[in-house]
Structure 1
Amino acid sequence: MDLQITATDPEHPAALLDLPWSIPLEDWPEEHLVALPRGISRHVVRFARAGDEVVAVKEVGEWAAVREYGLLRDLDRLAVPSVDPVAVVTGRTAADGTPLEPVLITRHLNGSLPYRSMFETTMRPGTISRLLDALAVLLVRLHLNGFAWGDCSLSNTLFRRDAGAYAAYLVDAETGQIQPRLSNGQRDYDIDVARVNIAGELLDLEAGGSLHPSVDPVLFGQAIVERYGALWHELTRESVYPLAKRHYIDRRIRRLNDLGFDVAEMQIQRSPEGDAVTFLPKVVDAGHHQRQLLRLTGMDAEENQARSLLNDLETWMATQDDYAPGDPLGARPEVLAHRWVRDVFRPTVRAVPRELRGSVDTAQIYHELLEHRWYLSERAQRDVGLEAAVEDYTANVLPNRPEAKPLDEQGELDEDSLT
């Protein structure tokens, strides 16, 4: 059988051809390898340079390589944090004709480390807790997308620093499977495997003297169960709020945002007792809200501003009589968004005296008004509405801002130009 390279990018095969495929991976010459920290693996794994990229090369059976390659491509399409698949190489033979194992090639995740490298100096308990938080978030994201991992562990995860926290990435999907929806039993199995694996990995570190003496491996293994359970409940529970408690919806969205999840869709069902609000969280890529807001309204805002405005837009849309998702007779989101700009956004911003705005652009003004309404509503324990928020914001917040030159001299967005 001839050497065959199945790659995701047409440019990869040419760069990969220069690697010594006729040599067993464990014997590859140093000239092809890149010295990077490796985690524990049941397979032979090496980092190599392919053109301008650094890739991870893993020897594994052909069926397993092709299957994991497909799973990683699926996770990539679902925007779940995982390593990027590059290629599968089959048909390898040694110089004497002996068949060699196929390999799975993935792109090296820049700035990431396996957990063992992070424990080379004794890690404090607080840092270990942040690693477990990141792993719990990753596991929830996988489960929300119907991915049963089957072997969740610190060893099968890469960690990358994310400001004061950590982000976790799946690095080994060999035992995984994707389904439309996971059962509670499948999720419980994954969580129990994670608990046992994490406790065992920390016990191994303890035996090697690399674990802080205050860390109990068994308790930290159990901690992943508790973190996962709290996060899953927060993301999937259905909430019922009275109409007068609209600010509770904002509070819930804030909690989800603080947990690192964006609310890409909200289903709001009105009933005589109140509004039944079901949040369907979806991990979205950077700039998602900017693009969504620009598409719906024509407004070009910063990401956090766009997230705030979209949350308000979606909540407002659900109160409209002609809002009927999935109904061909219902108003399209673009139509409702245009109405929101005309009837809500624009009048609200215009109610704020221009001389008090200074250099603050209109998207930021509206975002701050939403923040102020939430603050006032929390204090009053009822939704005070935008009018009251504008009045209080104009009287008590804007006058205390430092002086700034007028908005029109800054060339910022003018609400009159919005369509």
Structure 2
Amino acid sequence: MSDLNTPLSILGGITAQTFLEEYWQKKPLLIRAGLVDFTVPLDADELAGMAMEEEVESRIVVENGLTPWEMRQGPFTEDTFATLPEKEWTLLVQAVDHWVPEVQSLKEQFQFLPSWRLDDVMISYATEGGSVGPHYDQYDVFLVQVAGKRRWQVLSPDQYQDSAIPNIQLHILDNFPVDPNMDWELEAGDILYLPPNFAHNGRALDSECMTYSIGFRAPSIQEALTGVRDKLCEVDNPKDRFAPPETAARQHSAHISKDDIANLQSQLARLINQPDMLAQWLGETMSESKYPEYLVPFNQQELDTAFEHALQGKTFIRPGDARICYYLLEDLESNNSVQIFCNGESLVVNADLAIFIQAICDQTEFDFSGLDLTQDPDLEPLLHFLLRQQGVIELVANEED
């Protein structure tokens, strides 16, 4: 848990409260030397090695390739990199935090923001002049320069027209007037925060340029409406119909009146006005794994073994791809319970376990040997849930160590 009134080096010495009030989703913030004492865990060759793996999502953007702003999808081969031009290309690798614990730990510096909105950490490596073109994102992002130098030019939403270069794979703006007040060179350790829809154009100033992008997911309202609709439709009530009362004779039978619309609005509002249902949709959606196809379900024997090992005190960790959050249910029916969400599924347990759940969400390494399962009847099912959903997994020692 973060103290909102403590100055943070990751924010350049301002407090989280100041950042939230003055910058978050409002205006950019350039932070000089915000990331200190960070040892870069991957060099360019190791990042390229990751991009050759089948399960790792990666792209290469070549500004003057076979086509303008050519984009190639991984996985790549050694020949791919051997035939790239000397300059003006960028390698982007998604979700590096899923595979590299040192990159995952970087996200812990941003605990003053909702962890359930945190997306993956994307790493981009660029040769001199490398760029992915002027574009905008529909979410908040911190651009962390960890090696080399990059020039960033930024425009607010009212400074550019949302028109893209035609006939290319990427959505690159065809207009980008430079604002001298938002034109910065970033060196290793510098950070640039950008709110949603602020256009930005980054270009590497050397061939050692490496940037970590830490984004925050923002589902569209249309996605929310669709998801909530689906959640409401899970409960079929054939008697729940739109049949507005007729309080007076109509002058014309074909007329849909304002009262009819008001009645429809009232019925829909009643359906939507269910905070616990909305929380369930939001929690399950925001905790969905980025790559659910890589979550291989455990069989019962594997689950039983993991449960035994947990109680024996074996070390367990939260893997980099696990997403966990929770919601306190406070209506009379739920009797003050807490709902935990993990990788798209949920479980309701006693509210007395809220502190335990908070610890699970805040930490990355666990020792369950002191757990007294008789303390609460929901404790055992909770641990089974976390193991089954792979919110916590056993740390297996490397045989070579």
Higher relative contact order (CA 8 A, sep 6+): 2
| Same fold, TM-score > 0.5, yes or no | no
If the TM-score is normalised by the length of the shorter chain, which range does it land in?
Answer: under 0.3
Give the TM-score, by structure 1 length. Answer: 0.22
Give the structure with the higher percent helix: 1
